Amino acid sequence: MEDYQSAFIERHIDTQTLSQSGRKVAAMHFGGVTIECLLKAMIFASLPRGATQEWKTESYDPGHTFTNPGHSYIEALKRHNRLRSRIDNVPHVRKWLDEVENPIGQHFINMRYSGIEPEDPNYKRWLKTYQRLNEWLQKQITQL
Gap between the Cα atoms of 102 and 56, Å rounded: 27
Identify whether the C-beta of residue 100 lies closer than 8 Å to the C-beta of residue 130.
yes
Gap between the Cα atoms of 78 and 107, Å rounded: 19
Domain ranges of the chain: 4-141
pLDDT at 142: 87
Evaluated on CA atoms 131, 138, 5, 52, the torsion sign reads negative
Assign residue 50 a region (left: φ > 0; alpha: ψ between -120 and 50; beta: otherwise). Answer: left
Gap between the Cα atoms of 6 and 11, Å rounded: 9
Please report, rounded to a whole number, the percentage of residues in the chain having pLDDT higher than 70.
100
For 10-67, how does the pLDDT look when each residue is reduced to its tens digit (9 = 90+)? 999 999 999 999 999 999 999 999 999 999 999 999 998 889 999 999 999 999 999 9
Assign residue 60 a region (left: φ > 0; alpha: ψ between -120 and 50; beta: otherwise). Answer: beta
Q: What is the mean pLDDT of the chain?
A: 96
